[in-house]
Homo-oligomer: A and B are copies of this chain.
Amino acid sequence: MQRYDAHAVHAAMVALMRDRGLPPAHATDVADALVDASLRGIDTHGVRLLDFYLKEIEGGRAKKHPSFRITGDYPAAALFDADDALGVVAGAAAMREAIGRARKAGIAALAVSRSNHFGRADYFARMAASAGQIGLVFSNSDALVVPYGGVVPLNGTNPLAMAAPGLGEDGFHLDMATSQTAYSRVLLALRHGRQVEPGLATNQDGQDLSQGGELGALQPLGGVKGQGLGMMIQILCALLSNMPFDAELSNLYREPYDTPRQISHFMVAIEVSAFVDPVVFRTRLSELLTLFRDSRPAGDTPVRVPGDPEREVEADRRRTGIPLAEEEVAMLSGYLRADGSPVDRQGVAMI
């Protein structure tokens, strides 16, 4: 795959979205988040999502011009009605609100109602970390995970993310689903005729898929505890914002595209200085990360901390560019030069 300069890709995405009528600030939010994911090697949540998000807008699932409404009488907590915005736009706006409120209150939480798929959860958590705070981000999603010992999926893969700032660019950047693995990984294994390991998925009868049968759903992380975590996130997101349960949500990648999905999030920002000297916190955090990174590995692979693999890919891709698949290049046709540099919006499309 050819690589394209991240700034060029970002500019091309913004220009494309502006031409489709998205407000400039929203176009920037979406490009920021997707280019960030691509830079960090999470290509499933990167540039390629733009096409899908535009489909959500065109279909009517998401609004091009949402009107956000923040309600509630409490300084550190509020409901953020996203008015069926794109999830990334809603998430970024809600986290900005949380960061601002936490600056004054010490901690703040926003429950986000009427949202959509918001991409990578850690992106929003890292917004807080960039502001010197701790960010905690949760989202519900359509049900793909069975309860422990159950047959019917009732939890989404419901991610949780936490970001905390260390020294310089260092930090703790956790982003995890509460299923044992991703649906796409199971599908990939099946497509290649590989055995699906125990504990990852169930068959149509709720038995572990490693025992045979057709793919049913995903197993919760580590068994019953993952079920609890998935429910915890469902409660914080869907119940605090009075939105549908995971099992009531439509599937992300399937029809209908004209009906809002009513995804919900829960965003928390924590002002470190409310508890401890931020310099001490950053120093101790980097010491903790170093303790893990330098600890004795069982095999040849060093011990990592959450966010390390992504940070390494990012260092490389900032230098060498983001590899784009043919469809992604086609989607940006007219906005990106073949050499990876951005074109003027009135300029000649090179691809």
The answer to whether A232 has its CB under 8 Å from any CB of chain B is yes
Indicate whether A106 sits within 8 Å of B76 (C-beta atoms), given known contacts A221-B222, A231-B288, A235-B172: yes
Chain A positions 262 through 297: 1 when the CB is less than 8 Å from some CB of chain B, otherwise 0: 000000101110111100110011011001100111
| Interface-centre pick from A172, A224, A275 (highest chain B CB count, 10 A) | A275
* Contact across chains for B231 and A306 when beta carbons are under 8 A apart: yes
Query: How many angstroms from the CA of A224 to the CA of B307 in the assembled complex?
Result: 12
* Contact across chains for A206 and B296 when beta carbons are under 8 A apart: yes
Q: Min CB distance, A183 to chain B, in Å?
A: 16
* Contact across chains for A296 and B151 when beta carbons are under 8 A apart: yes
Q: Min CB distance, A67 to chain B, in Å?
A: 19
Instruction: Give chain A's interface secondary structure class.
Output: mixed
Indicate whether A306 sits within 8 Å of B77 (C-beta atoms), given known contacts A106-B109, A242-B276: no
User: Could you give 27 example pairs across A and B, Cβ below 8 Å?
Assistant: A72-B106, A76-B107, A77-B106, A77-B107, A77-B270, A78-B274, A106-B109, A109-B270, A111-B275, A134-B235, A146-B298, A147-B303, A149-B298, A151-B296, A151-B297, A164-B239, A172-B231, A172-B232, A176-B228, A180-B222, A221-B222, A221-B225, A221-B226, A222-B222, A231-B288, A234-B288, A239-B284
How many copies of this kind of chain does the complex include? 2
Query: How many angstroms from the CA of A107 to the CA of B110 in the assembled complex?
Result: 10
Query: How many angstroms from the CA of A206 to the CA of B239 in the assembled complex?
Result: 41
Size of the A side of the interface (Cβ < 8 Å), in residues, is 80
* Contact across chains for A281 and B147 when beta carbons are under 8 A apart: no
7 further contact pairs, Cβ within 8 A, besides A72-B274, A74-B271: A74-B106, A75-B105, A78-B274, A151-B296, A174-B228, A174-B232, A207-B298
The answer to whether A141 has its CB under 8 Å from any CB of chain B is no
Query: How many angstroms from the CA of A242 to the CA of B273 in the assembled complex?
Result: 12
Contact of A154 among B176, B295, B304 (CB under 8 A): B295
Contact of A297 among B106, B150, B162 (CB under 8 A): B150
* Contact across chains for B231 and A75 when beta carbons are under 8 A apart: no
Contact of A274 among B74, B146, B164, B225 (CB under 8 A): B74
